[in-house]
A and B are shown apart, each in its own frame.
Chain A
């Protein structure tokens, strides 16, 4: 049972890294980006290609995936996303669905419709078991690594957002772009950087999760709803909200699939609707904006 909990936490952490970029664009910049999964998929494919074709070690693939996705994110932000910040939500939804569709078809064209798997290095394949039988805690080393990386990332992000100069600039730009630029903050640059980092993190998540999430062309649509759940349930006022929501979702999903495999998705979606009806602004947000 503890093993399921552990796997759930690992899965939740992974979802958090994947979705945290969305939490920023959607939560802070108020842009509904349904194409977020495309950046994650890009990261996943980058890893797959690097490992299969060039035999690059797994750990070096991770920063590469981050950089590739971040670069694409920056490029798209500059060219396509920026004019849409001030547009109605309907436009943003349509635009990002279009982008997601295009990424699905392109991935299918370039990589084939099959699932891509990666070969994990030997030292990640092991498994450590602790405790006695009903309470055995089996920790796969790979999942341990996921938890570790994600925990570090969370702390770094939280620190950057709350403690650094860039964090304050970002919060100022979000609260009131006009005043922020009046104070000499280059709002466009702040948004560009934020968007790129968000996309990069999604790419990193895709790379990290290449083994558990199975990278295939419909990835952006398959996981879109999960990212959105993390952000909308977690609320958008802090980093900890999405983190807790991601953990909750990860544990609920893993446990649901283990105990009642037939009703897995059903439970998750129903929970989401109930939570959103109960607290439309998100579970962990403090009051209305």
Chain B
């Protein structure tokens, strides 16, 4: 019954797949603008850096939630591990940023590997609880180990060496902005290649129909473990960047709000689409700084309202207006399955 596709069919499939992975001009424009922006808006350099870090964090969740369909409410655990490990590494061992990022990424990845076994079984609710529980445990640990982490006072006085041994961090944050955007770009390119690889397509197969994926011989557990671990590494690196550029680590990196905010960003931008996290992070951070300026205390109210509106009006529809997503590659977007 099975027969190999004819050669012209094969060609069609190949071109169709290649079209998706082809780099669009608009993408290049976007990244060039991102790299020039710290020069044009030097007073906002810190914010640009923050957005780049947040976008990287959102990218990590997108791999798990958007591409693999795993609802996670505890992604802050990996960010937090990244933050604390790079802050501590810089404080007690070496102040080199690149090495610090490697440490952050690998420690967060290790935690991700351990946790990945917990998300293989059960329903959405079970996964939600387990991921949330892991983040809460990490928060509790960081709080109790105050001799190391500074507890609720936070960890201060992290002084970083120059990036790549050349570029000193300046007060204005220009170096920080370039550093963050640069790391984000490198990782983004890597992730982009990954999701367009056969491995990336398997993720979507698992998301859309796990049973069928198993039936055609996809090693579901192995793939999920690998994607979860990898996403944790990316989140850890984002955390490392955060600690290095702000010179500070505090307990709120583990907080539930972080995971929830992250999910919101991703949903604003659109899940299952690499630029979704980036677009969401930009919109979210700008909104946050504007609304917080008006009513700093009640920022949560507006975020809540936004979430409700977003869901009630339909995520897919709003996403289109907010992000002008038709300008980018939208072919990979998919609805997260139940």
Q: Which of B284-338 contact A (CB under 8 A)?
A: 297-301, 303-308, 310-312, 315, 335-338
A232 within 8 A of B: yes
**Residues of A contacting B71 in the complex (Cβ-Cβ under 8 angstroms):** 89-90, 93
A residues 90-104 near B (Cβ < 8 Å) are 90-91, 93-95, 97-104
Interface-side segment among B5-13, B174-182, B222-230, B256-264: B256-264
Cβ contact within 8 Å between A232 and B336: no
- Which of B123, B132, B299, B311 meets A91, CB within 8 Å? B311
Bound state CA distance, A89 and B308, in angstroms? 14
Q: Report B-chain residues with C-beta under 8 Å of the C-beta of A276.
A: 118, 122, 126, 129-130, 133
**Residue-wise interface mask of A (251-289) relative to B, using a CB-CB cutoff of 8 A (1 in contact, 0 not):** 000000000001101100110110011001100000000
What is the bound-complex CA distance between A83 and B125, given in angstroms? Answer: 20
Chain A residues whose CB sits within 8 angstroms of the CB of B301 once the complex forms: 101-102, 105-106, 109
A187 at the interface (CB under 8 A from B): no
Tell whether A266 pairs with B128 under 8 Å between CB atoms, given A84-B311, A98-B307, A276-B122: no
Number of interface residues of B (CB under 8 A): 46
If A90-B71, A228-B129 touch, does A280 touch B122 (CB 8 Å cutoff)?
A: yes
Q: Which residues of B contact A109 (CB under 8 A)?
A: 297-298, 301
Q: A93-B71, A95-B307 are in contact. Are A88 and B338 (CB under 8 A)?
A: yes
Q: Which residue of B lies closest to A282 (CB)?
A: B126
* Cα distance A97–B298 in the bound complex, in angstroms: 15
Name B's interface SS. Answer: helix
Within the assembled complex, what's the spacing in Å between the Cα atoms of A94 and B71? 11
Q: A-facing mask of B225-258, CB < 8 A → 1, else 0?
A: 0000000000000000000000000000000100
Q: Within 8 Å of chain A (Cβ to Cβ): is B65?
A: yes
Q: Answer whether residue B153 sits at the interface, using C-beta atoms and an 8 A cutoff.
A: no
Residues of A with C-beta under 8 A to B141: 266
- Measured CA separation A97–B73 after assembly (Å): 11
B134 within 8 A of A: yes
Q: Are B122 and A88 in contact (CB under 8 A)?
A: no
Q: Is residue B48 contacting chain A, with contact meaning CB distance below 8 A? A: no
Question: Closest CB of chain B to A233's CB: distance in Å?
Answer: 8
Bound complex: CA A105 to CA B302 (Å): 9
Contact of A263 among B73, B124, B144, B304 (CB under 8 A): B144
Asked if residues B311 and A108 are in contact (CB atoms below 8 Å), the reply is no
CB pair A273–B118 under 8 Å, yes or no, is yes
- In Å, the complex CA distance between A80 and B307 comes to 12
Contact of A98 with B308 at beta-carbon distance under 8 Å, contacts A266-B141, A276-B126 already known: yes
User: Does the CB pair B335–A88 fall under 8 Å?
Assistant: yes
- Beta-carbon contacts of A58-102 to B below 8 Å, as 1s and 0s? 000000000000000000000010011001111101110111111
Cα(A270)–Cα(B310), bound, Å = 34
Contact status B130-A80, CB under 8 Å? no
Count of A interface residues, CB-CB < 8 Å: 43
Q: Which chain B residue shows the least CB distance to A289?
A: B123
With A and B bound together, what is the CA distance between A245 and B306 in angstroms? Answer: 34
Residue A192 interfacial (CB < 8 Å): no
Report how many A-B pairs have Cβ atoms within 8 Å: 134
Which of A88, A100, A102, A277 is the one whose CB lies under 8 Å from B130?
A277
B300 & A104 in contact (Cβ 8 Å cutoff): yes
B303 engages A32 (CB within 8 Å): no
A124 within 8 A of B: no
Please encode chain B, from 198 to 211, with 1 for each CB lying within 8 Å of some chain A CB and 0 for all others. 00000000000000
**B304 & A101 in contact (Cβ 8 Å cutoff):** yes
Annotate A224-263 by CB proximity to B: 1 below 8 A, 0 otherwise. 0100110110000000000000000000000000000011
How far is B315's CA from A285's CA once the two chains are assembled, in angstroms? Answer: 34
Contact A93 B129 (CB under 8 A): no
B142 CB to closest chain A CB, in angstroms?
11
Are A232 and B264 in contact (CB-based, < 8 A)?
A: no
Compute how far the CA of A97 lies from the CA of B300 in the bound complex, rounded to whole angstroms.
Answer: 11
The answer on a CB contact under 8 Å between B315 and A281 is no
Q: For the complex, give the distance between the alpha carbons of A272 and B135 in Å.
A: 13
Check B144 against A269 for contact (C-beta < 8 Å). no
**B90 CB–A CB distance under 8 Å:** no
Q: Does A26 contact B (CB under 8 A)?
A: yes
Do A262 and B144 contact each other (CB < 8 Å), given the known contacts A80-B312, A89-B338, A109-B298? yes
When distances are taken between beta carbons in the complex, the residues of chain A under 8 Å from B133 are 225, 269-270, 272-273, 276
Q: Are B123 and A105 in contact (CB under 8 A)?
A: no
- Which of A84, A90, A95 has most B Cβ within 10 Å? A90
Count chain B CB atoms within 10 A of each CB in A89, A98, A273 and give the residue with the most: A98
Name the interface residues of A39-58: CB closer than 8 Å to any CB of B: none
Residue of A nearest to B143 (CB): A265
A83 touches B312 (CB 8 A): yes
- Whether the Cβ atoms of A88 and B337 lie closer than 8 Å is yes
Cβ of B47 under 8 Å from chain A: no
With a cutoff of 8 Å between Cβ atoms, the chain B residues found around residue A99 in the complex are 304, 308
Contact of B129 with A232 in the complex, beta carbons under 8 Å = yes
CA distance A288 to B264 in the complex (A): 32
Report B-chain residues with C-beta under 8 Å of the C-beta of A144: none
Is the CB of A190 closer than 8 A to any CB of chain B?
no
Contact sample, A vs B, 22 pairs, CB 8 Å cutoff: A32-B124, A32-B125, A80-B308, A89-B71, A90-B71, A90-B336, A93-B71, A93-B73, A95-B311, A97-B304, A101-B300, A104-B300, A229-B129, A232-B125, A232-B126, A232-B129, A265-B136, A269-B133, A270-B133, A276-B130, A277-B118, A280-B123
Q: Which 7 A-B pairs have the closest CB atoms?
A: A98-B307, A280-B122, A101-B304, A105-B301, A102-B304, A95-B311, A98-B308
Known: A90-B267, A97-B263, A270-B133. 6 other contacts (CB 8 A): A93-B128, A94-B264, A94-B310, A262-B144, A273-B134, A276-B126
